[in-house]
């Protein structure tokens, strides 16, 4: 099997120059294939990375399946690279947490059945899940740690997001947990950060598997990306089992494998949105050949393009860089066209599109990213490559199967515990600070006391509206409907047993659940939009009357002591062509907003 000089350099962790010197000096026999210089991998067996690929057990490990359902939680989930890889391996996610709104929308859009909590992890109490979760993971951001404490352990991680990962471990007590980070964490603060993390893991009662930096190109990822993986096993289990790192794929994949039909994808990359170069920059990059950079430019053009960077040391190989179809992509950043880390398309003079970015990270084409184009690039650029996560996930499933064989146990039912956590989170009113990735709690939602409302209003309605235009009733016959976009609109979750009447737009009454937020100003409510579970919102109704009623009002099963808020409603208009998923902000059940704000969601 042939491997080019450049790809061998990426695989073995050496410079391109060293690989070229090996060929020139006959350290390994040189070969040429289609005009590209390289080597026969069989003649490189003394290199550990090459040997592991030649003896790959990738296909064998793909057959690993869980002996039972292993419950998992992921923190700092981002756009879902790690979560999707772990799910493909066989883990059952019971809860995910992410701070960024757009990333949460991505997770919810692609996996509506995942319980995604948007918000600051610092505000989540995980104790209801203690002893119910098998595995916890998270790619925690790396911040400067405090080293004031002599032990440099758990308490010295306070104020960092690793501390929150560790706190979740302490509260949940999973059998195994995993942390993921950039390669640079190994040398951060001269190694003191990693030492602090090691000590903290020991204090938690876990045994850390010797950490490894995994090269994504060894795991069917067409990208030169490296990630540090930390895996820790609870002490009562650790001495009875052994974790085995994943086997690599049989060869190094290239950008050609990402953009065209082949090993990873069953079709060429679909068209998608993407940023564009300014004309001046485009004219410069048109001069750069495939796989080239600023060094391929005429000197006068290079000097002008690079500005002050021309005088700096270093190779500056990320500047004016055009990728090559026959090499893995350089590590993706949060933007495809930053001057210092250029990622120009190999054949066309433009940055990589959103879908091309996603393919290089091995996201499947069905995985749709939400938010602005900038937010999509950021979610993809920050992600763990899906195939890398999948490979590590299979090794973890194998570990859990060994644990299950040694310590047989049943899968715990986490549903009530998860709902308890979600309910507590829904009571919080917070203000986010995107710059610091933190939020401040302002208030909690309070529940409306239906009994007090009933005593106050008796048989009188709380709210009574009239039609704003007489021709509103002509809507079904093609009449025009006037919508006041400034009026308050209440969005409420509809339970499955009541969905049909909302699908055919015949609903006349909406009952709330037992719990209704006292923060909603009932006297200002004007419109109502039903939220159908699994579908979202589409239709607009007028709230004619809001009053207190009882469950199953007027039916034989009516309970006259079970008070509910009742909206008498009338269909006005289908506001969207199809159902639109939006976030229900209050207890994940209600949203109090306006028509104008809904139109902007």
pLDDT confidence of 457, banded at 50, 70, 90? low
Please check the confidence at residue 479 and state whether its pLDDT lies above 80. no
- Alpha-carbon distance 192 to 199, whole Å? 10
Neighbours of 272 (CB within 10 A): 17
pLDDT value of position 477? 41
Is-contact 115 412, C-beta < 8 A? no
Please check the confidence at residue 83 and state whether its pLDDT lies above 60. yes
pLDDT in tens, 310-325: 877 777 888 899 999 9
Please check the confidence at residue 149 and state whether its pLDDT lies above 60. no
Which whole number is the average pLDDT over 468-496? 65
Which whole number is the average pLDDT over 483-495? 87
Is-contact 202 208, C-beta < 8 A? yes
Which whole number is the average pLDDT over 383-405? 98
- Give the catalytic positions in this structure: 142
Q: How far is CA 481 from CA 469, 475, 484, 504, 527, in A?
A: 8, 6, 10, 19, 13
pLDDT confidence of 151, banded at 50, 70, 90? low
pLDDT value of position 468? 40
pLDDT in tens, 192-251: 888 889 999 999 999 999 999 999 999 999 999 999 999 999 999 999 999 999 999 999
Would you give the DSSP letter of residue 154?
G
The structural domains of the chain, ordered by start, are 2-55 (1.10.1660), 59-252+386-424 (3.40.50.150), 257-381 (3.90.120), 450-600 (3.10.590)
pLDDT confidence of 583, banded at 50, 70, 90? confident
Angle at which helices 386-406 and 81-89 cross, to 10°:
40
pLDDT in tens, 497-528: 778 899 999 999 898 887 788 777 777 888 99
Which whole number is the average pLDDT over 155-184? 88
- Alpha-carbon distance 498 to 509, whole Å? 10
């Amino acid at each position: 099997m042939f491997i080019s000089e450049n790809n061998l350099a990426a695989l073995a962790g050496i410079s391109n120059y060293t690989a070229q010197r090996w060929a020139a000096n006959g350290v390994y026999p040189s070969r040429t294939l289609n005009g590209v210089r390289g080597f026969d991998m069989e003649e490189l067996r003394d290199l550990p990375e090459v040997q592991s690929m030649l003896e790959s057990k990738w296909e064998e490990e793909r057959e690993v399946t869980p002996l039972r359902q292993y419950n998992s939680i992921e923190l700092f989930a981002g756009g879902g690279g790690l979560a999707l890889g772990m799910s493909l391996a066989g883990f059952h996610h019971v809860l995910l947490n992410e701070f960024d709104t757009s990333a949460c929308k991505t997770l919810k859009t692609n996996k509506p059945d995942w319980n995604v909590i948007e918000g600051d992890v610092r505000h989540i109490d995980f104790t209801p899940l203690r002893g119910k979760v098998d595995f916890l993971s998270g790619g925690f951001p790396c911040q400067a740690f405090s080293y004031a404490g002599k032990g440099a352990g758990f308490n010295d991680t306070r104020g960092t997001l690793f501390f929150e990962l560790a706190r979740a471990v302490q509260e949940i007590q999973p059998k195994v947990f995993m942390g993921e980070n950039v390669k640079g964490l190994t040398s951060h603060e001269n190694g003191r950060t990693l030492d602090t993390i090691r000590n903290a893991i020991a204090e938690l009662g876990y045994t850390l598997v010797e950490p490894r930096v995994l090269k994504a190109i060894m795991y069917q990822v067409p990208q030169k990306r490296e990630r540090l993986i930390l895996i820790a096993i609870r002490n009562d289990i650790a001495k009875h089992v052994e974790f085995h790192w994943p086997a690599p794929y049989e060869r190094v994949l290239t950008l050609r494998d990402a953009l065209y039909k082949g090993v990873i994808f069953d079709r060429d990359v679909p068209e998608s949105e993407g940023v564009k170069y300014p004309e001046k920059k485009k004219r410069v990059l048109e001069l750069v050949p495939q796989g080239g950079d600023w060094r391929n430019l005429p000197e006068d053009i290079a000097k002008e393009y690079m500005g002050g960077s021309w005088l700096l040391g270093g190779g500056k190989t990320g500047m004016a860089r055009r990728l090559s179809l026959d090499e893995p992509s350089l590590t993706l950043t949060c933007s495809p066209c930053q001057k210092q880390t250029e990622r120009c398309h190999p054949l066309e003079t433009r940055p990589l599109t959103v879908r091309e970015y996603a393919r290089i990270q091995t996201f499947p084409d069905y995985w749709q990213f939400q938010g602005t184009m900038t937010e999509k690039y950021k979610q993809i650029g920050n992600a763990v490559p899906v195939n890398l996560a999948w490979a590590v996930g299979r090794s973890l499933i194998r570990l859990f199967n060994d644990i299950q064989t040694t310590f047989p146990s049943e899968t715990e039912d986490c549903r009530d515990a998860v709902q308890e956590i979600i309910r507590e989170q829904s009571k919080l009113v917070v203000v986010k600070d995107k710059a610091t990735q933190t939020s401040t709690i302002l208030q909690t939602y309070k529940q409306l006391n239906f009994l007090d409302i009933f005593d106050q209003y008796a048989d009188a309605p709380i709210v009574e509206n009239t039609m704003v235009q007489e021709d509103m009733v002509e809507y079904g016959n093609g009449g025009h409907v006037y919508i006041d976009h400034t009026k308050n609109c209440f969005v409420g979750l509809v339970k499955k047993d009541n969905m049909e009447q909302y699908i055919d737009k015949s609903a006349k009454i909406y009952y709330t659940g037992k719990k209704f937020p006292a923060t909603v100003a009932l006297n200002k409510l004007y419109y109502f939009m039903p939220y159908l579970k699994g579908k979202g919102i589409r239709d607009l109704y007028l709230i004619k009357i809001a009053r207190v009623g009882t469950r199953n009002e007027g039916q034989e099963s009516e309970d006259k002591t079970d008070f509910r808020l009742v909206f008498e409603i009338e269909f006005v208009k289908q506001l969207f062509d199809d159902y639109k998923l939006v976030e229900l902000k209050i207890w994940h059940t209600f949203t109090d907003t306006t028509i104008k704000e809904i139109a902007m969601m």
